Chains A and B, each alone.
Chain A
Amino acid sequence: MASHNLEIRRSSASLWGEKTGMRHLPVVSKFIDTTTCIGCKACEVACQEWNDLGPVPTQQTGTYQTMPELDPEFWNLIRFNEQEFDGGLVWLMRKDQCMHCEDPGCLAACPAPGAIVQYENGIVDVNPDACIGCGFCATGCPFNVPKFHAKTGKMAKCTLCVDRVETGLEPACIKACPTGCLQFGTKDDMVALGHTRVEQLKANGFAHAVLYDPQGVGGTGVVTVLGHGDHPEWYGLPGDPHVPLGVRFWKSVLRPLGVVAIFGAVLGAIGHFMYQGPKEPRETGGEPTGGEPPRAPRA
């Protein structure tokens, strides 16, 4: 869903970058309040409708959840979890989708130039034209979001409705939410709203309430209020997500070293030839089985 209207801040497999720095946009963010979500799934339907994604068969797994995981044709999923807590049960719901990381692991891992881009406003998007469907982005993502679409051979995920946002509309999921647990605005505004909400929760018995905005990935373009912030895993969220060390090491250490090693080997061979010259038979004359004409000495 590549946008041609937004300036690109970062692009996958790019050596130079496309940022001109001419057009400035505030970073945007979704706000998700898990404590006021009622699990109505209106956001799921709105996402399918706006993005022209067909109906995807539901999978019954013993909960209200539509399917166990995000799907290449289902980018917005409410996760339901029944959690034993304090001698009772809490019913937790969280809207799962791409987190639009400030430091996107998918973009770091992607080998195809321009297949994953981060726009000036922080939205992380897959560009199907350039995507080669290798799936490395799924390895780079700490939230297990990008999914391989077998029919098209491309990766697919939430676009944060970049085609709506770039024209000043809010994302489809936000528009559909009946309780106001989903909000959309600048990152600063959403973080401020989140902190206000966390304070309210703390004053009302949720001592461990937090605003989930993990700094391991530089913060996310989706900030989530968790009533039980000491247990993000109850919501299907990693405690301290970061771009996998293997991907970082691969791209920033191994790859430059490898380029140097390969060109170094070529230069080394040329240098050796200039310094040492070829190893050739020298005519000694004393060999009984020779018989070949003497080789002209090298100039």
Chain B
Amino acid sequence: MSATASRPSADPAVLRARRSEDVVIGDEIVRHRLATRVIHWAVALFFFLALFSGLPIWTPIFGWMAHLLGGLNVCRWLHPWAGLLFFAAMAVMFVHWLGEMRLEKNEREWLRPRKMVEYMRYQGEDPEVGKYNGGQKLFFFAAGLGALGLLLSGVVMWFPLEFPRILRELAILIHDVTFILFVVAVVFHIYLGTAAEPGTFHSMIRGTVRKPWARLHHPRWYREVVGGESRRP
């Protein structure tokens, strides 16, 4: 190997993205530092573990998933533990991101379905979108609330004979409604993060986005980051 460089493959953007966020490196901007990405993927891992062990218990349509994990008995054992880990990872992510996810006044309109439809039709461009848009912030809080609902109802379903009947019935209904909404939201979360908005997935793997991406999706954040760069010595 060449002796000219001790680390010939080191990519400055990747190295910088380990610790720093919201910095410009060449034509890239670091959007998620390593810790953020690890926390996000821990949540995703435990979510899918809980999903694949829970769906076959939910309906035999997904019974084949149980075979992937070693049978329905394994699922019954695994699901609550995966759920606990999911909640733990979600709690860490909640604290980690809470500061950046505070809803601004004009982002309240994301609570209306019309705004979401507009967004999906690529209408109503807002030059004041910061690092996260209103939809992302709402998803963040909805996911946190959903995880809490799944945990509380899940504990009752884990030890069904320790709780009064009415609570058990209620827990089943809460767990079901919450998880259905959660899965629908996650389907769109994944779709928006991959196919619908190219470049987004990059930010959760490599940690960086390209400048045009930032300008399009998060214009105020782009101005702040790029402006900050120009002020640096």
Task: Give chain A's interface residues, CB within 8 Å of chain B.
Answer: 13-15, 111-113, 130, 132-136, 138-139, 148, 153, 244-247, 249-250, 254-255, 257-259, 261-262, 264-266, 268-269, 272-273, 276, 278-283, 287, 289-292, 295
Chain B contacts for A279, CB-based, 8 A? 122, 196-197, 216-217
Does chain A have a CB within 8 A of B191? yes
The distance from the CB of A205 to the nearest CB of chain B, in whole angstroms, is 37
Does B98 touch A at the CB level, under 8 Å?
no
What range describes how many residues of B lie at the interface?
Answer: 35 or more
Given contacts A113-B63, A265-B184, A265-B188, contact A255 B58 (CB under 8 A): yes
With contacts A247-B169, A279-B122 known, is A138 near B195, CB below 8 A? no
Q: A195 CA to B195 CA in the complex, in Å? A: 70
> Given A139, A245, A266, which contacts B187 in the complex, CB threshold below 8 Å?
A266
Task: Provide a sorted-by-A list of 13 A–B residue pairs whose CB atoms are within 8 angstroms.
Answer: A15-B60, A111-B57, A130-B72, A132-B73, A139-B169, A153-B73, A245-B169, A264-B184, A265-B183, A266-B187, A273-B196, A276-B122, A290-B212
> What DSSP secondary structure best describes chain B's contact surface?
helix
Q: Which residue of A lies closest to B200 (CB)?
A: A279
For residue B182, give the distance in angstroms from its CB to the closest CB of chain A. 10
Which chain B residue has the least Cβ–Cβ distance from A111?
Answer: B57
Residues of A within 8 A of B73 (CB): 132, 153
Distance between A26 CB and nearest chain B CB, rounded to angstroms: 30
Residue of B nearest to A293 (CB): B27
Pick the interface stretch among B2-10, B130-138, B146-154, B170-178. B170-178
Residues of chain A within 8 A (CB-CB) of B216 are 279-282
Closest 7 CB pairs of A and B: A246-B169, A281-B212, A135-B160, A269-B191, A258-B180, A265-B187, A132-B76
Query: Do A250 and B173 have beta carbons less than 8 Å apart?
Result: yes
Could you say which residues of chain A place their CB within 8 Å of the CB of B195? 269, 273, 278
CB of B161 within 8 Å of the partner chain:
yes
Interface-centre pick from A244, A246, A254, A273 (highest chain B CB count, 10 A): A246
Chain B residues with a Cβ under 8 A of chain A: 27, 57-61, 63, 72-73, 75-76, 120-122, 157, 160-161, 165, 168-170, 172-173, 176-177, 179-180, 183-184, 187-188, 191, 195-199, 210-213, 215-217, 226
Question: Per a CB cutoff under 8 Å, which of A133, A254, A289 touches B76?
Answer: A133
Please, which residue of chain B has its CB at the minimum distance from the CB of A148? B161
B61 to A259, Cβ gap below 8 A? Answer: yes
Cα A261 to Cα B215 with chains together (Å) = 34
Instruction: Verify A278–B196 contact, CB threshold 8 A.
Output: yes
Q: Do A292 and B212 touch across chains, with their CB atoms under 8 A apart? A: yes
A262-B212 contact in complex given A250-B172, A272-B120, C-beta closer than 8 Å: no
- Pick the contact of A246 from B72, B75, B161, B172 — CB < 8 Å? B172
**Is there contact, CB below 8 Å, between A257 and B215?**
no
Q: List chain B residues, Cβ under 8 A from A258.
A: 58, 176, 179-180
Asked, given contacts A14-B60, A111-B58, A290-B211, whether A280 binds B172 with beta carbons under 8 Å apart, the answer is no
Task: Tell whether A138 pairs with B161 under 8 Å between CB atoms, given A259-B61, A273-B196.
Answer: yes
Contact B121 A276 (CB under 8 A): yes
Kindly list chain B residues whose C-beta atoms are within 8 Å of the C-beta of A262: 180, 183-184, 187
Contacts of A111 in B (CB 8 A): 57-58
Could you tell me if B176 and A259 are in contact, using CB atoms closer than 8 angstroms?
no
Give chain A residues whose Cβ lies under 8 Å from the Cβ of B196. Answer: 269, 272-273, 276, 278-279
* Interface core residue of A113, A254, A272, A289 (most chain B CB under 10 Å): A289
CA separation between A262 and B122, bound complex, in Å? 24
B residues less than 8 Å from A283 (CB atoms): 212
* Residue among A13, A134, A269, A281 making CB contact with B160, cutoff 8 Å: A134
Task: Give B168's nearest chain A residue, CB to CB.
Answer: A139
A259 touches B59 (CB 8 A): yes
- Whole-angstrom distance between the alpha carbons of A262 and B179 in the complex? 10
CA of A162 to CA of B57, assembled, Å: 27
Report Cα–Cα, A254/B181, bound state, in Å.
12
